[in-house]
Amino acid sequence: MLTRIGFQTAIKGKNGFVCMVARSWSAGYGDPDFWNPRVRAPICYNAVAALSQVPETMKRTQVALAGGSESRIREALKAAIESGGLPVAKAGAMAYMMSKGTYFNRRTTHWRPHLMFFVPETDPKSWGAGLAQSPVLGVDQPDEHLTVFLIPLSRWSDGTVSRSL
């Protein structure tokens, strides 16, 4: 759960997964909703992703709660990654976002349920992402030496059918 000083463990699990509600400062740099207080993005990381993506989210949150600007968050993450203070994604790092309660931004509100795969920076097209008729999307995050692949799903966590936006 998010407190005034950062994320705190609400319930300790046994399978290595970490579930949290990401906030607006976890958005891409330059996103118009980077500081939108309505943003709530429930996400569950598997044990492999928890080793890289949770520390990255914690670092973003630490800088944001200390009053850091978007550029300060970017600089802090880049420096921490380059110094080895933050680990890079490893093979098998994945997460899912399947909550109907998600609010991403003013443009898409909750988008669709999806899986996310985190890999060290690569060309998304070499994996078939973003190509015509491909359901896979790829997002480059060069400052973080990261590429994220998103695969939309047909059902929400409660089993109801997702409608395309």
Each residue's pLDDT tens digit, 91-135:
899 999 999 989 988 888 778 999 999 999 999 999 999 999 999
Residue listed under structure tokens 């680990």: 87
What's this model's pTM, rounded to 2 decimal places?
Answer: 0.91
pLDDT of 165 over the 60 cut: no
Cα–Cα distances in Å, from 110 out to 12, 97, 131, 138, 146? 27, 10, 23, 18, 23
b/e for 152-165, b at 16 or more Cβ within 10 A?
eeeebeeeeebeee
Kindly state the DSSP code that residue 71 receives in the 8-state scheme: H
| Pick from 56, 43, 60, 161: nearest CA to 101 | 43
pLDDT at 106: 86
User: What is the share, in percent, of the chain residues with pLDDT greater than 70?
Assistant: 99
- What is the residue extent of each domain of the chain? 2-152
